[in-house]
């Protein structure tokens, strides 16, 4: 791909061939020199050919190959002339992360850390096909799909205030359970309150550094503090909704009168019946994922209280924010000097809204949206804050994590002969996992250096560093 360097952190993929807009990649020169970046760069160019795309096809520094869109890809489409694509959202719809703080510091939990991690591992189902204790009838499941986090809170899983600290209040209001398949509903009935597999995790961390004291104070973060992070999504229900939608759109797109550079970019016009059907089905999966993380946070809080032998006031577990990574949303953005409603696809990317934005609660509107960037289980994670520059350049978006550099097969090969769990324990990190290959596939070396990824978005100004978190206990799916 022909790349033009704009500045230290931005690179333009020149408009050529069928591209309707250029590409814009946020990365360092060293990141782009890697041979594994060529395929995702091609995907950036492919996305730029889609009808109705606005300004540019964007990619974040955690960019790597994905289905259709690159993971780390962002694209906004005009509502009248644009498309919506399941490949621009991904199979794990609303795979996301939530961060909670506590009033505890590391030395208070270190003596009981192993028992705490073991209890989280026992108490929250994890792994491929894992099923939870919440069994739903189909009518009740449809309520979850319509209500999202609100359903969970009404069932006693958390506090009403959690909704103010969740993206979209934990509910996309356009969700329509009647458009999804019986197979999707069946897959979702027994998986609420479960972690899943792959890169999903529950992580106990410690705030290691604070970079922006005022934002940290507003978010409730202080050095030495114990935190809880949960990374999971919409489980089998979301996967099935994506699979069903792709099966239909792969045939439907042939009738639309334009050529796709990649069949994985199967899509529908946003305002068409097929486009609205996918958007409303996707919203169901998004709501399921928010309810799922809400329930797991409540379960985790109960485990903390029991294992540490403290009361709710002493623990004071409080949700900082819940952000989604794989989503398409209709949002208002300035395009060519005018406010316009567009459909923003964020695939492996995080919303990064600035101070003053109406989508934020009164508390956060002063400083901007919390942005949570998990790393691998052996290094660090970061809390950032959204910026006005993100609104101007990336439709209010930033990176979502470290980004893989090794496939799962390559990671397993590279880890042969190593005891990853013992290596982590030597660093003071206790880890529990399901599946024989999980730790090998998710070893730290399988990912980019999250600190370098974060430095790109911070340096580019599309989100700014607030705090760094160090893992001390991890449960892997």
- 43 to 64, 233, 361, 365: CA distances (angstroms): 10, 24, 36, 35
d(CA 460, CA 467): 17
Buried-exposed string 329-358: b where 16+ CB fall within 10 A, e elsewhere: bebebeeeeeeeebbbbbbbbbbbbbbebe
d(CA 73, CA 460): 16
- β partners of residue 473: 204, 430
400 is known as an active-site residue:
yes
* Alpha helix segments (H runs only) across 37-175: 38-47, 106-109, 113-123, 138-147, 149-154
User: Which residue out of 325, 333, 400, 458 is catalytically annotated?
Assistant: 400
How many other C-beta atoms are found inside a 10 Å radius of the C-beta of residue 213? 12
Question: Do the beta carbons of residue 84 and residue 342 sit within 8 Å?
Answer: no
Element (H, E) at 331: strand 326-335
Q: DSSP string covering 357-405, please?
A: -TTS-HHHHTT--EEEE---TTS-EEEEEE-HHHHHHSSSEE--S--BS
d(CA 400, CA 477): 19
Sheet architecture: strand order including 57-64: 3-5, 10-13, 23-26, 57-64, 71-78, 338-347, 326-335
| Cβ-proximal residues to 407 (8 Å cutoff; 6+ apart), any chain | none
How many other C-beta atoms are found inside a 10 Å radius of the C-beta of residue 186? 14
Dihedral over alpha carbons 404, 410, 411, 415 (to 10 degrees): -160
Element (H, E) at 291: helix 273-308
Dihedral over alpha carbons 314, 317, 318, 320 (to 10 degrees): 130
Instruction: Locate 412 and state its tokens.
Output: 């397993």
Catalytic residues: 400
């Amino acid at each position: 791909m022909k790349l033009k360097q704009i500045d230290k952190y931005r690179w333009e993929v020149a408009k050529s061939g069928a591209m309707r807009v250029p590409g814009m990649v946020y990365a360092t020169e060293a990141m782009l020199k890697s041979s594994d970046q060529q395929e995702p760069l091609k995907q950036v160019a492919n996305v730029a050919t889609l009808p109705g795309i606005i300004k540019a096809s964007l990619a974040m520094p955690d960019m790597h190959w994905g289905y259709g869109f690159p993971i780390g890809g962002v694209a906004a489409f005009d509502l009248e002339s644009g498309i919506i694509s399941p490949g621009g959202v991904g199979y794990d719809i609303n795979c996301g992360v939530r961060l909670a703080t506590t009033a505890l510091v590391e030395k208070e939990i270190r003596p009981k850390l192993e028992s705490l991690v073991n209890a989280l591992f026992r108490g929250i189902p994890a792994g491929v096909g894992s099923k939870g204790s919440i069994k739903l009838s189909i009518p009740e499941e449809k309520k979850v799909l319509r209500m999202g986090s609100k359903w969970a809170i009404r069932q006693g899983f958390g506090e009403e205030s959690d909704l103010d600290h969740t993206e979209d209040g934990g509910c996309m209001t356009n969700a329509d359970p009647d458009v999804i398949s019986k197979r999707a509903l069946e897959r979702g009935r027994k998986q609420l309150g479960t972690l899943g597999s792959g890169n999903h995790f529950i992580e106990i961390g410690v705030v290691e550094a604070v970079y922006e004291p005022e934002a940290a104070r507003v978010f409730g973060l202080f050095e030495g503090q114990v935190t809880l992070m949960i990374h999971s999504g919409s489980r089998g229900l979301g996967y099935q909704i994506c699979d069903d939608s792709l099966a239909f759109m792969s045939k439907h797109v042939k009738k639309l009168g334009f050529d796709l550079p990649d069949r994985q970019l199967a899509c529908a016009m946003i305002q068409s019946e097929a486009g609205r059907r996918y958007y409303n089905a996707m919203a169901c999966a998004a709501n399921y994922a928010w309810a799922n993380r809400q329930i797991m946070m409540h379960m985790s809080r109960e485990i903390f209280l029991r294992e540490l032998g403290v009361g709710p006031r002493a623990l004071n577990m409080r949700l900082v924010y819940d952000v989604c990574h794989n989503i398409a949303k209709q949002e208002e953005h300035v395009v060519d000097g005018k406010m316009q409603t567009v459909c923003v696809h964020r695939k492996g990317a995080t919303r990064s809204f600035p101070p003053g934005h109406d989508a934020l609660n009164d508390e956060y509107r002063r400083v901007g949206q919390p942005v949570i960037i998990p790393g691998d289980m052996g290094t660090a994670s970061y809390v950032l804050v959204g910026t006005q520059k993100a609104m101007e350049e990336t439709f209010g978006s930033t990176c979502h994590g470290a980004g893989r550099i090794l496939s799962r097969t390559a990671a397993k090969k590279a880890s042969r002969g190593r005891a990853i769990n013992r290596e982590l324990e030597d660093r003071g990190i206790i880890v529990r996992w399901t599946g024989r290959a999980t730790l090998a596939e998710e070893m730290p070396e399988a990912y980019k250096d999250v600190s370098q990824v974060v430095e790109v978005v911070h340096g580019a100004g599309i989100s700014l560093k607030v705090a760094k978190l160090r893992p001390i206990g991890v449960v892997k799916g």
